[in-house]
Amino acid sequence: MATDYNFDDVETVKINEETPQLCQILYDDEYKHTIGILLGLLQIREYSERALYLTEKALELLASHYTIWIYRYDILVHLNKDLFEELDWCEQVALENEKNYQIWNYRQLIITRILATTDESSKKKFDPHREFPILQSMLESDPKNHHVWSYRMWLVKKFNLFKDDRENEFVNKCISADLWNNSAWSHRFFLKFSQEKDIPEETFATEKVYVQDYIIESPQNPSTWNYLTGIYKKYNKSIVDLEDFCLKFVDIEKIDDPNYVKSSFAIELLAKIFVKQQKNEASIQLYDILGSKYDPIRSNYWDYEKKKLISH
């Protein structure tokens, strides 16, 4: 892209000069000059090569400027630019701005545009798997990057990748690499249970064994316990069936001794199971010990659960 554009004809918009201001932002001269020209071009709705060039310079200064991203998109559409090349360019920006969410919204816009303007005979038909390398790179750097996981969910839904082998293999690897990665567990639940209304019974059996094995490996992991109870709720199964499994991690007779308690989440689930079995006193005792010993940070919540039982 050429860099010798002239902007002398553009009426620069002055920024950050209003008075009075509660908290004035001290932009440097380069930023004020670049953004001032860009906003001037935006005001007259100029969709040109020089405007496109300037959006790139502006995003190098502030990649979270949402207005610039939208302006850049409009320029690309007006100039009929190669949107696949734009995706390639955007990847480098993403790698340099890991916590930026505007980039992922922008990629959604670009891909949606490609799908709307590409016919079946096109040699450049969009393949969703082209997104996998950048997503993998981003998640290797930060395995719990919420913006990247949200974009990945959008991609799965947009292209019906729920049963895609590569997608399922990826999330399995994320979980095995870090059992405590709640984002990965949430994504697996999304893949397995958000598509079909009537999910096969064998899926429940498979997922139950899958998550229980990981609970045994790491009993004090909230992600796995949430996944387990989540699939029971999804299938409308009774958690009473989990009593024996919970007792693998808690010795009720010696519950005051931490040596006999491997998981506070097992205690919590047992308390709920006892409520289902109408053993309110036993449940209250478990809530008591959770609040006083094993999960005191949520003591107010456990008190609330006890009051609900007492009131009944």
For 191-255, give the DSSP string: HHHSS-SS--HHHHHHHHHHHHHHHHH-TT-HHHHHHHHHHHHHTT--GGGGHHHHTTSB-GGGT
Task: Please say if the pLDDT value at position 158 is more than 90.
Answer: yes
Count: domains in the chain: 2
213 has a pLDDT exceeding 60: yes
Taking a C-beta distance cutoff of 8 angstroms, is the pair 132, 170 a contact?
yes
Mean pLDDT of 94-105: 92
Backbone CA torsion sign across 25, 31, 34, 38? negative
**In the predicted model, what is the mean pLDDT of residues 101-120?**
91
Same-domain pairing of 151 and 187:
yes
Residue 301 has pLDDT above 50, yes or no: yes
* Cβ–Cβ < 8 Å for 221, 255: no
Cis peptide before 20 (omega within 30 of 0): yes
DSSP state of 298: G
Nearest Cα neighbor of 241 from 283, 194, 288, 205 is 205
Residue 86 CB neighbours (<10 A): 19
Residues 44, 37: contact at Cβ < 8 Å?
no
- The Cα–Cα gap between 302 and 310 comes to 12
Co-location of 95 and 25 in the same domain: no
Residue 13 has pLDDT above 60, yes or no: yes
pLDDT given for residue 1 in this prediction: 43
What domain range includes position 180?
82-116+128-194
Residue ranges of alpha helices (H) inside the chain are 29-43, 49-61, 66-79, 83-96, 102-117, 132-141, 146-159, 165-177, 182-193, 201-217, 222-234, 243-246, 264-276, 280-289, 299-311
Indicate whether 88 pLDDT > 50: yes
The larger pLDDT score, comparing residue 151 to residue 25, is at: 151
If asked whether residues 65 and 95 sit together in one domain, one would say: no
- One domain, residues 95 and 18: no
Reported confidence tier of residue 2, pLDDT bands at 50, 70, 90: very low
Give the per-residue pLDDT at 197. Answer: 75
Are 86 and 177 in the same domain? yes
Cα dihedral value 140, 127, 88, 174, nearest 10 = 0
With a cut of 60, say whether residue 139 has pLDDT above it: yes
Residue of 232, 286, 210 lying closest to 255 (CA atoms): 286
Is 90 exceeded by the pLDDT of residue 252? yes
Same-domain status, 97 and 189: yes
Give a yes or no: residue 236 inside a domain: no
Residue type, 97: N
